[in-house]
Structure 1
Amino acid sequence: MTRLRCDGYVLPSRRSRRGRAVSELLVGVLIVSIVLLGLLYLWTEDDKPTEFGIDVSPYRVANAVYAHNLLERYRLAVMNYIDMYGQLPGDVGAQANGTGRGDWRLERQYGEGERALADMADASVVPRGTLRVRGRELELAWVSLVADERELTGANYFVLRGFNRDEARAMDWKFDDGRNNDGDILYAVRGEDAVDLYMRLELDN
């Protein structure tokens, strides 16, 4: 390494000055990254979105959007199956009622929800194995609204048990009517932070 001597002082070479500049730059980048990560953490934990009018963090809202988009993909998979086979996957109503047609209900007493997922996997419209959304196992079931022991209405629903409560609220506000007991997205409180989430499976049959 060459050094220059001037009035008793040794001046560093260009190579050593370049090495010091790169290390100082790396330290600066590291400090800025730590500050940005800290700000991002505070923003996702503390800030509340104002466009929904509910106190849910943006992190939970993003998870709700992800879960809704995944459920929409599964809904399209059901529609693809119907287009290919002309009936609802897993619907054994044709055998049960002897009409030769399904009843378009995924009824639990016949285990049709489990059969529906297996039928869709056999048709290659969904991957094989347990389907999960945000870590919760996906179910398909016919859900009835009953009053005075009389069925008022019913529909096929995607069901996610033990879903995060804030994410269910965010999904309901963003994609439905914001009420947990009405519309296409419903949820029933299961615990302090968990709900059973129901999303209506819209069928164009």
Structure 2
Amino acid sequence: MFQTRIKSIRLPGYSQAELLVGFGLVALLTLSLLVIVNPFAGDDNEDIPSYRVANAMYIYNAISRQKVALMNYIDMHGDLPGDSALPIMVDGRMIVGNGNQKIETENGEKDKVFPELFQSGVASQGYARIRSRDLELAWMVLKDGEKILGTGHFFKLSGINALEARAYDRKYDDDSSDTGHVLYARNKTEGVDLFIKLDLYR
């Protein structure tokens, strides 16, 4: 009887144990990198959850995009959207700006801002929503009783989380709800209304 020996051939590759060790090391390195390079570290936001700070940063970036669209519109037309003499139909009514360099609420100019940005080709849609909230831009005099907190063009984002408004103010202004370029106050229904003063070059 003949005896045959079968030679075992090891194919190139990794065993399951080697793969598990490799994935474990990669996971540990990734976690340690996240701890070292934490985007929220050092922002003095210990009392605000990181995801609220991230939402505030998202709001900031979205409003910055609207500022870029505004600057492009001003460069193209020489005046503010909404305030221009260009007639636009919004919600079944014709709105024409009066050209006084204020986007006013009373005559409907604020309703024509984003449709006009869209119509001129500097914005991708005729409205602005951030985190499912409508964004407005208008000339406002913000008051607390008799005290005037701010006057000028303000972006208004209604009904956002109070911690997100606080994180926004802390990161991009003075961490005070009633001073500076960023103001916020509790509204009548839910959350807070965030007001960001329009400064195209800030």
TM-score in terms of structure 2 length: 0.71
Structure 1 residue 94: Cα displacement:
10
Unaligned ranges ≥5, structure 2? 88-96
1:24 corresponds to which letter in structure 2? A
Q: C-alpha separation between the residues in 2 aligned to 1:113 and 1:140?
A: 6
Structure 1 residue 52: Cα displacement:
2.4
Residues 180-191 of structure 1: pairs in structure 2 closer than 5 A: 180-190=177-187
Match of 1:114 among 111, 123, 132: 111
Aligned to 1:166: 163
Q: C-alpha separation between the residues in 1 aligned to 2:172 and 2:145?
A: 31
Structure 1 residue 152: Cα displacement:
7.9
Indicate conservation of the 8 Å contact 2:115/2:127, yes or no.
Answer: no
RMSD: 3.7
Indicate conservation of the 8 Å contact 1:106/1:140, yes or no.
Answer: yes
Structure 1 stretch displaced more, 62-71 or 86-95: 86-95
Question: Which protein is richer in helix relative to its size?
Answer: 1
Indicate conservation of the 8 Å contact 1:3/1:13, yes or no.
Answer: no
Match of 2:77 among 85, 89, 93: 85
Structure 1 residue 173: Cα displacement:
0.8
Aligned to 1:9: none
Unaligned ranges ≥5, structure 1? 5-11
Structure 1 residue 115: Cα displacement:
0.3
TM-score in terms of structure 1 length: 0.70
Task: Summarize deviations over 1:32-55 as a string: whole Å, max 9, x none.
Answer: 677789x69xx8xxxx85532551
Structure 1 stretch displaced more, 27-36 or 131-140: 27-36
Structure 1 residue 189: Cα displacement:
2.0
* Residues 125 and 31 (structure 1), Cα distance of their counterparts in 2 relative to 1, 3 Å cut: same
Task: Summarize deviations over 1:55-98 as a string: whole Å, max 9, x none.
Answer: 11233222222221221221121122112111110116899xxx
SS in structure 2 opposite 1:110? coil
Residues 1-205 of structure 1: pairs in structure 2 closer than 5 A: 3-4=6-7, 13-15=9-11, 21-28=14-21, 49-52=41-44, 54-91=46-83, 102-146=99-143, 154-190=151-187, 194-202=191-199
Aligned length: 183
Indicate conservation of the 8 Å contact 1:49/1:57, yes or no.
Answer: no
Q: C-alpha separation between the residues in 2 aligned to 1:154 and 1:14?
A: 77
Indicate conservation of the 8 Å contact 2:149/2:179, yes or no.
Answer: no
